[in-house]
Structure 1
Amino acid sequence: MASKKEKPDKERMGLVAERIWRGAELRIMEDVVRRIKKAGEITSTADYQINRLIEMGRSREEVERIIKESLDATWSEMFEMYDKVAEWEYVRNQEVYEQITDEFIAPEDNEWLIQLTEAIRKQTQDTMVNLSQSCGFSVMMGGRRVFTPFAEYYQKYVDTAIQDVVTGATDYNSAVRKVVTQMTNSGLRVVDYASGHTNRADVAARRAVLTGVNQITAQISEHNAEKLGTDQFEVSWHPCARPDHQTWQGKVFSKEELRTVCGYGSVTGLCGANCRHSFDPFIPGISERLYPDDWLEEQNKREAQTKEWNGKQLNAYEQTQQQRKMETAMRAQRQKIRLLEEAGADKDDIMLEKAKYQGQLNEYKQFSKKMGLVEQRERIYQDGLGRIAPVKTTYKFQNKAETSQMYRPIQRSQESIDVKIKEDFEVKTRKVLSYSGDVYISDNATIKPRALHQINKNTEEAIKQWGIPSDRKPKIVIVSPDEMPTAYGKYDAIQNTVFYIPQIADKKIVENQGDIEYHEMWHMKQAENFRSQKGKITKENHREYIQSACKDAKKVIDKAGISKYNVNKVSEYAERMYRLGRYDEVEAEYMTTYRRKRHGN
């Protein structure tokens, strides 16, 4: 019976096409790397020039062969899936047919159905063939993105890399890193339209498949409705639909309303590009709605609820889009690692890229858990590259100097958030995923893992010494000296955030390591005292907090016997702050000096 047939997985069809095209993309990029690697062994510039002409011809043939093999692999699988979709969509209304009419022609005997399937097969295959003829790479030239055919890309960029290696202008590893980064950041691309709109080849493959499936299901539904004598259709429903589709999914419409309300027939509407909705004949008095209005309203309210991620509020649809974005970034990173391995690049470079990938995986896991989404790692691993992430505790480097710099590899999040240093000045930062607390690094700051480890450790030790609970640890933000030119550190009581520049971990700059962190955490101690009495520190009561801190600090200063006549026994900075009435700074400096004496410095 038709009702026992298993519904075809349309989404899987698109993923299969994507996987095949990604395989083609990787094989082409591996070919580029192989040629650079080979060129690295050439010692004569003249020999290189001759070989380049020969290799160029082979390169074009190789790319054409890879694309042809990919098309054959894609469509041999896709044709079988099309047949399954067509048959399932056609026979699902068999029982209704038998109730309304007595006519039901088996799929294999229905000439109309056979012709429809063949026509759409041909249409979508031709689209893919045309797209494949324009395959190229996108690269940045003069600050704008330019799409070049593969041969041209090879000539302009790989050629330059080879010449640099042969002539000694750069080392092999640097040349490989540059080209691999260019390729994985851009990906194999296609130019779809005269307007210049572009899509990756794998996205174009998935779109072509889903477009074909949508056309089959839509035309079968219209045909069945005509045979059943109804002008009504029920549109399907699925979770996390795009906002403009959510308004009409799951409801019943006339044929005209499918076009005017749902956008049927347009690229962005029902059954358009990347749309997963379908519609089925609905016969009033016989058919029952699958999605009642009250149920739809409840689902819409639930999906409208937002959850916070890196300072942004995301609804259900935005959460799934962010998850797809993360998966795409990880697939690109996996490609990059594999290409560096194929090229025999420096092992430490490869290990750092693997550490970055591990950070992406960790962020993906954290995001999915916080959003309540099921991880779809099959989307990441379908490239067939196997295990990429490093095994824990296997970071090995060539000498002790490198080992001392590593500590815990810095793994930054993909998403950036804005953090205020001053009221009128924000910096873009990314969270460090390899630390349990809130540790962020400005996009403009550079810091070695060892230095970050030391700053984080010193901050934790300082709050412990001042009796601050560990769960009150402030957010740590590492910024560049250009972003905070007047101080080594700064505690913001309103945000409970401490800002440091990376240079405080350098003994040549801060002789007594930990002093800056100790100083800033004393300010946090002052803030905690105020919070225990007055509550949260806000923009409105910040002045009151400063006055209160100064008042309490002066008591400590007087008790310690520090006056305006001997304050310079602490430091010139403390004397200047004393004259300005900033007793909280004097007290913090005094506490830092006390720490030095306590530790015998």
Structure 2
Amino acid sequence: MLEPKYLQNVGDDLEKLYQELATEILVDIAERIKLNQDAMTSTTEYLNNKLKQLGLQQDWINKRLAEILHTSEEEVDRIMRQSAYKSIRDTFDRLEAGGYDTSGLEFSNQIKKGTSALWGDIQNLTRTTAQLASDTFMRYYDMAYLQVSSGAYSLDQATANTIDKLCREGLTKVSYPSGAQRSIEAAVRLAVRTAVNQNALACEKTVIDELDINLVQTSAHMGARPSHAAWQGKVFWVNYPEGNYENFYEATGYGTGAGLGGWNCRHSFTAYFPGISEDYNKPVNSRENDRIYQMEQKQRSYERNMRKWDRERRVKAAAGLDTTKEDYWYKYNKMKLKELVDASNGYLKRDYSAEKIGGTKGRPYKPVRRPKKRVSSSPSYSSLGEIDPKKYGDPENLNTTKTIFTDERAMHIKERHPDIYDLVVKHAKDILEDPDATYLEEGREDTVWAVKQIESDSGKSVQMVIKLSQGQENEGKYNSVITAYTIRSRRIENKAKNGKLKLLYKK
């Protein structure tokens, strides 16, 4: 079951990516208006330059969006896999403690389905961003020209007026069928949080359905919206009436947008076993819950205001305009936020990454410029050892036996699986060169699982995933470690039985 705090922060990196993109687009528009204001003195020059600048802007945006989509696709896949397994890991422990056999449970299809749906939403929002950028550019470029051509304003005055309005209104918002409108970054945050929770809940529901479990319990947290506070932390029946419990679907609204797992919801549920499961039904004072809810809403409001003023001062600075007003209001909201957090008696915590565009904590304020093409550098790595081809399926097109462990992948394991990081670093060479078994995963012919039991009393083995350098397109590249984590032997056996894994070698 995913914790409310996890759901509150999931997808932060994606949201910040699109926050930064929206700001870069506004900065780009402001720079184009400022640098091309002389072309607005005649209708012909204005029209010709408008089309030229629109083309240049679209070229830049298309390249930028291609970069963001590449990063987003990897992040979406990581978030969905991590959140699903994080949700069901504890459920499996409770099931096994209650005598249930979990070996036949499989979630890969559900995870693929959830990942595909979220990725489709992100792609649609990205395409929408390109259209919003073009619409915004043309609207404000026309506005500056009309003010100049009317004779009521000078070039400098028209430019300042237009960019000031551009700062206040920003990009056109994303519209929903319900009539609601959200900024592009808010739309991304909503899509990620909702998809992650619904995917994790679908996995939990699979467990409940396949094992014929009837009781579930919802999570609880202070500051829940009033309509959800009424049912949080309680036990419900799912398939048939039992005891004094209420109907899960009727009470929580699960499956609807306004109910559990719906829009922006941070609640989860999991299988409940009397006497075994942790009791989430802790008393929550309704008045205290409402007070905390209002405080959290006020904190989010101050954070939104700070991002708003941070964006406006960046856009104005890019056009060479005075930012005194924007600096003042940014500091004012920062002061009010600090007062609110200090008065919460330790309940509220500052989230510094939410107080600036892109979450760049500690970076000095300076105008945002159009990103220049970066020259990529080779990632630093350490040589790990040599694989024995016979233990790795003896692939005919293997380029090398040398295997590396990059600093970036080591940091990935440290962040995602901190409980086994030291174990992996200490035994990585041994796992690579002397595995207990190796497996080829279905659909991933270039990666091999190297599995070894490091601590015999743990009941689990460490699985290290190795990407093999194969074929002409990978000549000159080494084999490399992708990730590592612990896995139960029963899960490996089940995957092999279902054809998901092919045994290559066994010690």
User: C-alpha distance in 1, partners of 2:174/2:21?
Assistant: 17
Q: What is the aligned counterpart of 2:20 among 18, 23, 27?
A: 23
Q: What is the aligned counterpart of 2:337 among 364, 381, 404?
A: 364
TM superposition shift of 1:266: 0.8
Provide the alpha-carbon RMSD of the alignment.
Answer: 3.0
Is 1:32 aligned to residue 29 of structure 2? yes
User: C-alpha distance in 2, partners of 1:134/1:343?
Assistant: 26
User: C-alpha distance in 2, partners of 1:271/1:184?
Assistant: 35
| Aligned match of 1:452 | none
TM superposition shift of 1:189: 4.3
Deviations, residues 247-288 of structure 1 (Å, cap 9, x unaligned): 111111112622211111111110111001110100234324
| Aligned match of 1:217 | 200
1:345-356 alignment, distance < 5 Å: 345=321, 349-356=322-329
User: C-alpha distance in 2, partners of 1:249/1:276?
Assistant: 11
Q: What is the aligned counterpart of 1:236 among 216, 219, 223?
A: 219
One-letter amino acid matched to 1:355: Y
One-letter amino acid matched to 2:226: P
User: C-alpha distance in 1, partners of 2:355/2:40?
Assistant: 40
Asked if the contact 2:218/2:280 (under 8 Å) is kept, the reply is no
TM superposition shift of 1:369: 2.5
Asked if the contact 1:39/1:162 (under 8 Å) is kept, the reply is no
**Change beyond 3 A, Cα 1:301–1:85:** same
One-letter amino acid matched to 1:291: N
Asked if the contact 1:264/1:271 (under 8 Å) is kept, the reply is yes
Asked if the contact 1:28/1:66 (under 8 Å) is kept, the reply is no
Unpaired segments ≥5 residues, structure 2: 240-246, 367-507
| Aligned match of 2:306 | 330
| Aligned match of 1:117 | 111
TM superposition shift of 1:93: 2.2
SS at match of 2:252: coil
TM superposition shift of 1:158: 1.9
User: Normalised by the size of structure 1, how large is the TM-score?
Assistant: 0.54
TM superposition shift of 1:240: 0.6
SS at match of 2:267: coil
SS at match of 2:355: helix
Asked if the contact 1:184/1:335 (under 8 Å) is kept, the reply is yes
**Change beyond 3 A, Cα 1:75–1:251:** same
TM superposition shift of 1:114: 0.9
1:18-417 alignment, distance < 5 Å: 18-42=15-39, 45=42, 46-101=44-99, 103-105=101-103, 112-135=106-129, 149-162=132-145, 164=147, 169-255=152-238, 257-292=247-282, 295-296=283-284, 299-304=285-290, 315-345=291-321, 349-372=322-345, 373-381=348-356, 383-384=358-359, 386-388=363-365
TM superposition shift of 1:354: 1.1
User: C-alpha distance in 1, partners of 2:142/2:192?
Assistant: 36
User: C-alpha distance in 2, partners of 1:43/1:272?
Assistant: 49
Asked if the contact 2:261/2:267 (under 8 Å) is kept, the reply is yes
SS at match of 1:93: helix
**Change beyond 3 A, Cα 1:7–1:56:** closer
Percent identity reads 24
TM superposition shift of 1:20: 0.8
User: C-alpha distance in 1, partners of 2:115/2:172?
Assistant: 23
Unpaired segments ≥5 residues, structure 1: 137-147, 305-314, 390-601
**Change beyond 3 A, Cα 1:303–1:7:** closer
SS at match of 1:234: strand
SS at match of 1:261: helix
Deviates more, 1:26-35 or 1:169-178: 169-178
**Change beyond 3 A, Cα 1:19–1:214:** same
Asked if the contact 1:192/1:198 (under 8 Å) is kept, the reply is yes
SS at match of 1:270: coil
SS at match of 1:275: coil
- Structure with the bigger RCO (C-alpha within 8 Å, sep 6+) is 2
Deviations, residues 507-539 of structure 1 (Å, cap 9, x unaligned): xxxxxxxxxxxxxxxxxxxxxxxxxxxxxxxxx
**Change beyond 3 A, Cα 1:323–1:66:** same
Q: What is the aligned counterpart of 1:14 among 7, 11, 14?
A: 11
SS at match of 2:271: strand
SS at match of 1:188: coil
| Aligned match of 1:419 | none
TM superposition shift of 1:166: 8.1
Deviations, residues 47-83 of structure 1 (Å, cap 9, x unaligned): 3432222112222333344334333322312311221
SS at match of 1:133: helix
User: C-alpha distance in 2, partners of 1:369/1:323?
Assistant: 12
One-letter amino acid matched to 2:336: E
One-letter amino acid matched to 1:244: S
